[in-house]
Amino acid sequence: MKTFQDFLNTIEDPEKKGKMETILNHIREKYPQLQEEIKWHQPMFSDHGTFIMGFSLAKNNIAVAPEAVVIKHFEKDIQKAGYTHTPNLFRIKWTDEVDYHLLEKMIEYNMEEKKGMKRYWR
């Protein structure tokens, strides 16, 4: 698996595939400067070689992983959106609306906070 399309082609349910594709396309269009990567069979976005956000799929949700620092910083916003979370990720149920504004705030936070970072992870 080398591309986002390869990843999407592994999703059998058309509704789930469509939802994931819409999220990835939204980020692509809003932040064309981000690099698209597949690592550990998951789509990820990076900026100048540092991790910004990754996604994985589960039976009941999409797991969004922006790193633990970001989860902690946006914990109240995550809860307000109705999403559950762990220290490292939050979950968008397949039946939930996607809070694109929240995704954008997290991406922009990571991009700003990691401007001079030379490592992939914090």
Q: What Å distances lie between residue 82 and 55, 88, 95, CA to CA?
A: 18, 17, 11
Q: What is the predicted pLDDT for the residue at 1?
A: 79
pTM: 0.95
Residues 16, 98 contacting (CB under 8 angstroms): no
pLDDT digits (tens, 9 = 90+) for 26-70: 999 999 999 999 999 999 999 999 999 999 999 999 999 999 999
Range of the domain at 30: 4-113
Average pLDDT over residues 89-107: 98
Assess if residue 118 is contained within a domain. Answer: no
Assess if residue 27 is contained within a domain. Answer: yes
Assess if residue 120 is contained within a domain. Answer: no
The CATH number of the domain holding residue 38 is 3.90.1150.200
Listed residue (56, 36, 45, 50) closest to 104, CA to CA: 45
Q: Where are the beta strands (DSSP E) in 42-114?
A: 42-47, 50-57, 61-65, 84-85, 90-93
Domain count of the chain?
Answer: 1
Residues 52, 64 contacting (CB under 8 angstroms): no
Q: How many CB atoms lie within 10 A of CB 54?
A: 20
